[in-house]
Amino acid sequence: MKAVLLDCDSLGPTDLDLSALLALPLDWTIYPETSSREVSERIADADIVVTNKAPITALSLSQAARLKMISIMATGTNAVDLQVAAQHQVAVCNAVKYGTGSVVQHVWALILALTTKLADYRRVATDGTWQESRSFCLLDFPVEELEGKVLGIVGAGELGRGVAKVAEAFGLEVIYAALPGRQYVDQQRVGFSEFLGRADIVSLHCPLTADTTNLIGEAELALMKPSSILINTARGGMVNEAALVQALLEGSIAGAGIDVLTNEPPREGNVLLNESIPNLIVTPHCAWVARQSRQRLVDQTVENLHAFMQGEPLPRAVL
């Protein structure tokens, strides 16, 4: 069977062990990267496609007559048109729980940097401000303890629960959001408006879907406390970026840590990429990139492909 890996470089493969993947009895074609306009041609005669973020659209699927299986090297499935894949009877699987340690670590790095004003204090320690101080320390930027505050989590899956576990050590109360229009087996959820009003920190850990696109916009930001901060390591489309800029400039919320943007990479720029915006940290979609997490991602992909070739149930089937 012919297999295509569309965007190998997105895995940072130089420090990974790909031997198990390459040892599979497949006729591999591996591309460092693939633009959206190149996908159709590159998967046209493939039986199996592996992609991280290269998009598999309805058009691409219609032109891939031999395609039987897609393995997404991510948890989010928005890179693949699942409805059309199902119509073409193409099996789809993803990867899960591979990046928990890395993402949780990054979330808390953002929370701690914002609440301790780490970037501000680092700057004044080296720009001459400290040297000119009349006191042994600087008190220029207000620092808040986390203990006793409320961490609000949107999404109670692997990542949300992982972030919550660390919160216990800091003495935070954790609440989970009940999103509008959804039914929950776990009744210990807080209605979304009340959730936004109670949380001192809001952290997003749910997939990007039609229901969660622009989940946090002008109205939602207005419900948050002026002292609150927003963390998004999920998907960029869940936060209205223009509304977030306005909220930060007006002081409607106290800060934000953002690892994801609506369009990545932001070749046309982005309103959040502005150093003058106060109390904002933007990182380049790197919450997941610890070497151990990326290796687990490769290993899970091997398991997915092996199961498919053996005719076994896909361990992480989406379709």
Catalytic residue positions, numbered: 235, 264, 285
Q: Which sign, positive or negative, has the C-alpha torsion 177, 318, 315, 59?
A: negative
Count Cβ atoms below 10 Å from residue 79 Cβ, excluding itself: 20
Structural Rg of the chain based on CA atoms:
22
Residue 309: which H helix or E strand, with range? helix 291-309
247/135 Cα distance (integer angstroms): 34
Place of tokens 């190998």: 8
Burial status of residue 101 (CB atoms within 10 A of its CB: 0-12, 13-18, 19 or more): middle
ω into 313 cis (within 30 of 0):
no
Q: Output b/e per residue, 4-22; b: 16+ Cβ within 10 A.
A: bbbbbebbebeebebeebe
Q: Which amino acid is at 159?
A: L
Q: Which amino acid is at 28?
A: W
The distance from CA 117 to its chain's CA centroid, rounded to whole angstroms, is 23
Residue 230 main-chain phi, psi, to 5 deg = -115, 135
Place of tokens 């149930």: 313
By residue count, the chain amounts to 319
Place of tokens 């687990």: 296
